[in-house]
Amino acid sequence: MASLRATRAGRPTALRLLLLLGAVLKPQESLAQLLTTPDNLDSERKVMESYKEKVQDCWQNYTNDMDSIEKDWCDWAIISRPYSLLQYCLETLAEDFDLGFPNPWAERIIIETHQIHFANCTLLEPTFSDPPEGVLLALIIAPICLIPFLVTLVVWKSKDSEAHA
């Protein structure tokens, strides 16, 4: 223990490292749990298979909801409920299985729904065109002509204030 360097407070550096490591790891975690074993890989594989099945249930519910909609799929007021339910289902499942969201399977489902249901939806935005040349020239020339007038006014007022002082 004498060979370990001491910090300013006199505690060994290794002890501070262990304290830091303990603060980073969750209480139920340990360094041994971070190592992957064949049993861990098998259980992780089973969890992912179960998750994929549940995600497919979310997808099936969503497609049933979308198929029941007879109107335009591009109208957000109509499709917002099924889409929000799909997102909620995917997020809840990811949380239940201790997976992050979005994850590859959830992203795959979201991309698939956009390709299938919203491929023909485009935003109708107005296209802007240039104003007529007369308006454009007026908007360019007006400030250019105004600048010399304002400079003259400032110089004249500054000379006027010097005369009174």
Condensed to tens digits (0 to 9), the pLDDT of residues 15-64 reads: 555 455 454 444 444 444 444 566 667 777 888 888 888 989 999 999 99
Contacts of 80 (CB under 8 A, 6+ apart): none
Cis peptide before 102 (omega within 30 of 0): yes
Share of the chain above pLDDT 90, in %: 29
Q: Residue 119 — pLDDT band, cuts 50, 70, 90?
A: confident
Quote the CA–CA distance of 19 and 13 in Å, as a whole number: 10
pLDDT of residue 6: 46
- For the entire predicted model, the pTM comes to 0.51
Quote the CA–CA distance of 89 and 34 in Å, as a whole number: 29
Residue listed under structure tokens 């303990």: 22
Number of H helices, E strands in the chain: 6, 0
Residue 160 phi/psi, 5° resolution?
-65, -40
Tokens standing for residue 142 = 């007006």
